[in-house]
Amino acid sequence: MKNKNIFWGLAFIILAVAIGLDAFGYFGNIGIFKIISAVLLAIIIIQSVFHVHFWGIFIPLAFIGILFKTELGIANLTPWPILGIAILFSIGFSLIFKKSHFNCCISHNHHYTDRIINDDPSCDCSVSFSSIVKYINSDNFECSKIDCSFGSASIYFDKAHIQGDSAQIIVDVSFGSVELFVPKNWNIIKSADSSFGGIEEKNNNAVKDGPTVYLEGDISFSGVTIYYI
């Protein structure tokens, strides 16, 4: 968290310097809107490079290309061709260099259908261009990894029991939506990185006297909703 604060602090300082230089005419006729947008997009790219998150690299690059199409001489390539190229690059690189956040999650190589019940302590879930509903009924839940690209996933943890002090839910969501249904007394610690996406909580009004669950991973152009039930 401290490193993230330092990163964003430096980013705002760079943005302030860019605005000041523009006021003195150092950027010519480019315009303050383009400068601010480019700096913010560059920040997202840098952060995504550190996390090896290809959606956060290629999509912002495409928007930079659209903003500076005249200066770069690529007016014929914008906006849809360059966005299509960026999306295809993101999908391709994500499939080739698919990363594993933590080795606590065990891959079981199940064939996932639209409705699954799983009682293993650690389980993975992957969906692309489709949707699934999964029920985690483990008596000793430890970790779950959820990959969702251009799809939707509804994962029910309401009957999962955590024997230790904590567990992990790791999400990697790109252009998709994930719904997590969890016991109302779980204490969810949200530390997932997000680019053009976020985490929303519903019915979060109960006393958190249960175990701690760390929600980690990457969210890009997507939404994760936590329902406390």
- Same domain for 151 and 49, yes or no, is no
Residue 167 lies in a domain: yes
pLDDT value for 153:
92
Residue 101 lies in a domain: no
C-alpha to C-alpha distance for 150 and 155, rounded to whole angstroms? 16
- Same domain for 139 and 210, yes or no, is yes
pLDDT tens string 193-217: 887 788 999 999 888 889 999 999 9
H-helix or E-strand containing 153?
Answer: strand 152-156
Contacts of 204 by beta carbon, 8 Å cutoff, 6+ apart: 226, 228
5 band by pLDDT with thresholds 50, 70 and 90: low
- Same domain for 59 and 124, yes or no, is no
Pick the last residue of a domain from 41, 66, 96: 96
- Same domain for 193 and 133, yes or no, is yes
- Same domain for 92 and 119, yes or no, is no
b (16+ CB within 10 A) / e for 129-150:
eeebebbbebeebbbbbbbbbe
Return mean pLDDT, the chain: 83
What is the rounded radius of gyration, in angstroms, for the C-alpha atoms of the chain? 20
pLDDT value for 109:
38
- Residue 12 or residue 166, greater confidence: 166
How much is the average pLDDT of 107-113? Answer: 39
pLDDT value for 4:
59
Pick the last residue of a domain from 33, 66, 96: 96
User: How many domains would you assign to the chain?
Assistant: 2
Residue 104 lies in a domain: no
- Same domain for 134 and 219, yes or no, is yes
- Same domain for 128 and 216, yes or no, is yes
- Same domain for 67 and 127, yes or no, is no
Residue 124 lies in a domain: yes
Residue 49 lies in a domain: yes
pLDDT value for 106:
37
C-alpha to C-alpha distance for 157 and 205, rounded to whole angstroms? 18
pTM over 0.75: no
- Residue 69 or residue 6, greater confidence: 69
C-alpha to C-alpha distance for 143 and 122, rounded to whole angstroms? 5
Q: Is the pLDDT of residue 156 over 90?
A: yes
Residue 202's domain spans which residues? 115-228
- Same domain for 215 and 124, yes or no, is yes
